[in-house]
């Protein structure tokens, strides 16, 4: 009986009796959330990093609180808090403004919570990268009369990219894996779907290994792209080692 | 994972505020505002459930800490050979070690945890040999699976760190040890390992904080850690925010204590020049 459930490949079939299609659907959801959350996190991170480096004392302290809290509290707890608080606050806000409440889709909420967590991480990564840009380059840009926005766009962002990419690449991999935590709040991404499939069919090993293979494939494919991007960003740098 | 990334994910000692520069006028205003917020939370939210659950919360915290320290120690003991064989081992050890690190680091911890708990947990009872062995009373509980999953995960991440640390010890020091006639084991014990651990220490500390942040996952397989206690509170009192806020506070305190302890130990280790 054990051997049966171990190698019953038909369970992974894409069509209805098999669960392959459901698994791939969950995988797609995971990737969507990871991409959305990562993008939101990057935006928050750029803003946060610049706020931390160039903002006023109050803004700096507030951002410090944000990154400290996110780095000290488990993602799982943050996700629960943000998931409930985020949807609740939005609905209360809409109610106070006189609009009717909306039912926030799990996808949006997932992107929001992953984005806020990733925002704190990328704030720290980007801050370190910006500090690695030689100060003279930014001063030179200022001396040429560039506005702060132009300095950011033309000098700081491109110049910090080589320093930031290893950290940002790691954050992308973490974002893909953090989506699994949304299983705990009941969003049907890959891990939760896998558990449902495994629970229904009792073929635990098969499904968890299949999901693991999907995650691993995502990581390995990402690593290929990361390698290409890193090489592109580091062109013109003296080769290390 | 690089040093900087661990720093970005986990609180580290240099993030702690310095006493002399801490109190500034705007900070005092911010702190007063924060105090007002805390008072508002304490007054306007419901906390009457707290005394009833205090003992259970205490034991939950102890379970979380036990999980953290046991898995960190066991994981580190696994990580040393994992890192070492990747630097100096023969290919038939190097390849599996690298494969192990890649697979564990490439899949979510939650999935590994569920694979072990539901997968192995459903497999074991089918073998009478296991069911009649002395391990069976333990294997029927949840915590061994949580311990195993967290240990393996820590070992994989830490193995990667130790690989870099072992490779980064200057060759000259190892040559000097050999020139003094040290055997391979003595050299490893006296020179290579201490130097590698010293180099890896900041990252190790960061990874330990990350490990603390991973421990609540074991609550999903029915281990009663502090997260599980808080979930229980939420089910029984129908409160959403209060227990979660308390949980966040508990974890912040735990992280803070951990980071302060690490700073103490880091400062005790003499470094050249600093």
- Answer whether residue A20 is part of any domain: no
Distance CA B25, CA B167 (A): 48
**CATH number of the structural domain spanning residue B245:** 1.10.3720.10
CA distance from start to end of chain B? 26
Tell me whether residues B251 and A122 touch, CB distance under 8 A: no
pLDDT of residue A238: 67
- Answer whether residue B25 is part of any domain: no
Average pLDDT over residues B184-203: 90
CA distance B227 to chain A (A): 8
For A106, counting Cβ atoms within 10 Å of its Cβ (0-12 exposed, 13-18 middle, 19+ buried), the class is: middle
Helices (H), B24-49: 25-44
pLDDT of residue B1: 56
Residue A204 has pLDDT above 80, yes or no: yes
Tell me whether residues B241 and A208 touch, CB distance under 8 A: no
Residue B52 has pLDDT above 70, yes or no: yes
Which has the minimum average pLDDT: A168-172, A234-238, B105-109? Answer: A234-238
- Answer whether residue A236 is part of any domain: no
CA distance from start to end of chain A? 54
Tell me whether residues A212 and B107 touch, CB distance under 8 A: yes
- Answer whether residue B6 is part of any domain: no
Residue A176 has pLDDT above 60, yes or no: yes
Residue B216 domain boundaries: 56-268
Which has the minimum average pLDDT: A130-144, A157-171, A221-235, B125-139? Answer: B125-139
- Please say whether the beta carbons of A37 and A111 come within 8 A: yes
Range 193-252 of B in CB contact (< 8 A) with A: 209, 212-217, 220, 227, 240-241, 244-245, 247-248, 251-252
Best of B7, B9, B31, B105 to disrupt the A interface (most A CBs within 10 Å) is B9
pLDDT of residue A14: 67
- Answer whether residue A173 is part of any domain: yes
**CATH number of the structural domain spanning residue A114:** 1.10.3720.10
- Provide the domain count of chain A: 1
Tell me whether residues A220 and B114 touch, CB distance under 8 A: no
CB proximity A72 to B under 8 Å: yes
Q: Of the candidates A61, A170, A215, which has its C-beta nearest B108's C-beta? A: A215
Q: DSSP code of A39?
A: H
CA angle A76, A212, A188 (to 5 degrees): 50
CA distance B181 to chain A (A): 30
Average pLDDT over residues A204-227: 91
pLDDT of residue A87: 80
Range 20-59 of B in CB contact (< 8 A) with A: 24, 26-27, 30
- List the one residue out of A78, A141, A164, A72 whose CA is nearest residue B4: A164
| Band (A110; pLDDT cuts 50, 70, 90) | confident
- Answer whether residue B39 is part of any domain: no
Residue B153 has pLDDT above 60, yes or no: yes
Q: Of the candidates A71, A74, A212, which has its C-beta nearest B216's C-beta? A: A74
Please state the φ and ψ torsions of residue A201, each to the nearest 5 degrees: -95, -10
Q: Of the candidates B26, B108, B241, which has its C-beta nearest A57's C-beta? A: B26
Distance CA B53, CA A111 (A): 34
CB proximity B126 to A under 8 Å: yes
| Band (B173; pLDDT cuts 50, 70, 90) | very high
pLDDT of residue B214: 92
Average pLDDT over residues A158-162: 88
- Answer whether residue B29 is part of any domain: no
Q: What is the pTM of this model?
A: 0.87
| Tokens describing residue B91 | 């290919």
- Provide the domain count of chain B: 1
CA distance A153 to chain B (A): 24
Residue A141 domain boundaries: 30-187
- Answer whether residue A110 is part of any domain: yes
pLDDT of residue B272: 65
ipTM of predicted assembly, 2 dp: 0.85
- Answer whether residue A217 is part of any domain: no
Range 82-111 of B in CB contact (< 8 A) with A: 102-103, 105-111
pLDDT of residue A35: 95
| Band (A149; pLDDT cuts 50, 70, 90) | confident
pLDDT of residue B74: 96
Distance CA A29, CA A110 (A): 10
CA distance B274 to chain A (A): 21
CB proximity B112 to A under 8 Å: yes
- Answer whether residue A194 is part of any domain: no
| Residue pLDDT, tens place only, A64-85 | 899 999 989 998 999 888 888 8
Average pLDDT over residues B154-163: 93
Distance CA A109, CA A84 (A): 9
- Answer whether residue B242 is part of any domain: yes
Chain A residues within 8 A of B209 when measuring between CB atoms: 71-72
Tell me whether residues A77 and B27 touch, CB distance under 8 A: no
CA distance A107 to chain B (A): 19
Q: Of the candidates A2, A75, A80, which has its C-beta nearest B244's C-beta? A: A80
CB proximity A200 to B under 8 Å: no
CA distance B121 to chain A (A): 9
CB proximity A170 to B under 8 Å: yes
Q: Of the candidates A166, A179, A183, which has its C-beta nearest B2's C-beta? A: A166
- Answer whether residue A213 is part of any domain: no
pLDDT of residue A240: 56
- Answer whether residue B107 is part of any domain: yes
Nearest CA in chain B to A181: B110
Residue A106 has pLDDT above 90, yes or no: no
**Mean pLDDT, all residues of chain A:** 86
| Residue pLDDT, tens place only, B63-91 | 999 999 999 999 999 999 999 999 988 88
- Answer whether residue B273 is part of any domain: no
pLDDT of residue B19: 66
Sequence-distant (≥ 6) Cβ neighbours of residue B146 within 8 angstroms: B67, B113, B117, B217, B218, B221, B223
- Answer whether residue A205 is part of any domain: no
Tell me whether residues B240 and A128 touch, CB distance under 8 A: no
Tell me whether residues A73 and B112 touch, CB distance under 8 A: no
| Residue pLDDT, tens place only, A34-64 | 999 999 999 999 999 989 888 888 898 899 8
CA distance B46 to chain A (A): 16
Sequence-distant (≥ 6) Cβ neighbours of residue A210 within 8 angstroms: A12, A23, A194
pLDDT of residue A241: 45
- Please say whether the beta carbons of A171 and B5 come within 8 A: yes
């Amino acid at each position: 009986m054990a051997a049966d459930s171990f190698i019953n490949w038909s369970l992974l079939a894409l069509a209805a009796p098999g669960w392959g299609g459901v698994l791939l659907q969950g995988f797609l959801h995971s990737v969507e959330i990871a991409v959305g959350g990562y993008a939101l996190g990057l935006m928050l991170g750029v803003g946060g990093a610049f706020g931390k480096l160039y903002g006023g004392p109050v803004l700096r302290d507030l951002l410090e609180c944000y990154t400290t809290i996110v780095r000290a509290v488990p993602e799982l707890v943050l996700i629960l808090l943000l998931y409930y608080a985020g949807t609740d606050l939005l609905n209360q806000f809409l109610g106070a403004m006189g609009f009717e409440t909306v039912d926030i889709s799990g996808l949006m909420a997932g992107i929001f919570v992953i984005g806020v967590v990733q925002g704190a991480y990328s704030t720290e990564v980007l801050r370190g990268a910006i500090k690695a840009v030689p100060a003279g380059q930014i001063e030179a840009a200022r001396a040429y009369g560039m506005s702060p926005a132009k300095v950011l766009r033309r000098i700081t962002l491109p110049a910090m990219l080589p320093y930031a990419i290893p950290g940002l690449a790691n954050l992308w991999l973490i974002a893909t894996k953090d989506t699994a935590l949304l299983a705990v709040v009941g969003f049907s991404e890959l891990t939760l779907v896998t558990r449902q499939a495994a629970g229904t069919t009792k073929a635990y090993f098969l499904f968890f290994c299949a999901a693991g293979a999907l995650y691993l494939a995502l990581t390995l494919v990402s690593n290929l792209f990361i390698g290409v991007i890193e090489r592109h960003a580091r062109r013109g740098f003296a080769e290390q080692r | 994972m690089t040093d900087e990334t661990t720093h970005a994910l986990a609180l580290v000692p240099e993030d702690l505020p310095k006493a002399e520069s801490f109190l500034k006028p705007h900070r005092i205003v911010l702190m007063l505002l924060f105090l007002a917020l805390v008072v508002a939370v304490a007054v306007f939210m419901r906390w009457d459930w707290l005394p009833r659950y205090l003992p259970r919360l205490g034991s939950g915290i102890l379970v979380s800490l036990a999980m953290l320290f046991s898995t960190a120690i066991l994981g580190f003991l696994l990580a040393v050979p994992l890192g070492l064989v990747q630097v100096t081992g023969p290919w038939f050890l190097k390849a599996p070690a690298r494969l192990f690190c890649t697979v564990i680091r490439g899949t979510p911890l939650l999935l590994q945890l569920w694979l072990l708990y539901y997968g192995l947990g459903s497999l074991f009872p089918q073998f009478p040999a296991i069911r009649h062995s002395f391990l069976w009373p333990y294997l029927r509980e949840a915590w061994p699976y949580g311990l195993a999953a967290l240990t393996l995960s820590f070992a994989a991440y830490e193995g990667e760190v130790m690989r870099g640390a072992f490779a980064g010890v200057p060759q000259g020091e190892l040559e000097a040890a050999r020139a003094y006639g040290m055997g391979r084991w003595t050299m490893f014990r006296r020179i290579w390992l201490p130097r590698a651990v010293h180099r890896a220490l900041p990252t190790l500390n960061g990874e330990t904080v990350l490990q603390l942040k991973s421990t609540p996952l074991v609550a999903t397989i029915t281990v009663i850690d502090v997260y599980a206690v808080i979930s229980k509170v939420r089910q029984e009192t129908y409160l959403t925010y209060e227990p979660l806020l308390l949980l966040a506070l508990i974890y912040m305190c735990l992280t803070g204590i951990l980071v302060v302890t690490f700073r103490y130990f880091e400062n005790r280790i003499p470094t050249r020049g600093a």
